[in-house]
Structure 1
Amino acid sequence: MAIHQILTRHTASISDLKKNPMGIVSEGTVEEGAIAILNRNEPVFYCINPALFAAIQEMLEDKELGEIATKRLATLNPVEVSLDDL
């Protein structure tokens, strides 16, 4: 029997989700923004609210832009300047 990590405090069964989808999702995502949906006590997917999804998208974009900036900085020849010269 495999043990699966559940990454949220709130969970619901897939059967409960079928019975009351909006109720389960809205109640489960109020505090943390996410709820784990379980099938036979194993997480099968996570529902997240739009605010959390937007935050995740922004973090991923920031990470990607950071990687691009790091690559570009590696190709530049640094020039020393004084703040007084600016």
Structure 2
Amino acid sequence: MADLETNIATITLCDLKRDPKAAIAAYGDRPVAVLENGRVMFYCLSAAGYKALQDSLEDLELGAIADARANAPVVRVSLDEL
């Protein structure tokens, strides 16, 4: 098991089949690239890692919405109008 240059942990498909829980637990919430014959077949993430990924994507989407609205014209209203 080695690390790719992108700091993604790697594991062989045989190691994953032998003991899936231990193989994934060894890397915590880091993504793990599963290799077969030295080639990446797929990636695994823990549930917490997947949730963190979802949160990051949501933050990016909300940031894009905020940026778009920052360039919109300003509409002034008073508290009474609300």
4+ residue segments displaced more than 4 Å: none
Q: Tell me if 1:43 matches 2:40.
A: yes
Alpha carbons 2:9, 2:30 under 8 Å: kept = no
Equivalent residue pairs, number? 72
TM-score computed with the length of structure 1 as normaliser: 0.67
Alpha carbons 1:34, 1:47 under 8 Å: kept = yes
The answer for the alignment partner of 2:51 in structure 1 is: 54
Structure of higher RCO (CA pairs closer than 8 Å, 6+ residues apart): 1
TM-score computed with the length of structure 2 as normaliser: 0.69
The answer for the alignment partner of 1:15 in structure 2 is: 14
Alpha carbons 2:34, 2:41 under 8 Å: kept = yes
Residues 22-76 of structure 1, C-alpha deviations (whole Å, 9 max, x = no match): 121112x22x522221011112222122222211111110110111111122122
Q: Is there any run of 5+ residues in structure 1 with no aligned partner, and where?
A: 1-5, 80-86
SS of residue in 1 equivalent to 2:74: coil
Q: Is there any run of 5+ residues in structure 2 with no aligned partner, and where?
A: 77-82
Compare 17-26 and 56-65 and name the one that shifted more.
Answer: 17-26
Give the alignment partner of residue 69 of structure 1, picking from 66, 69, 75. Answer: 66
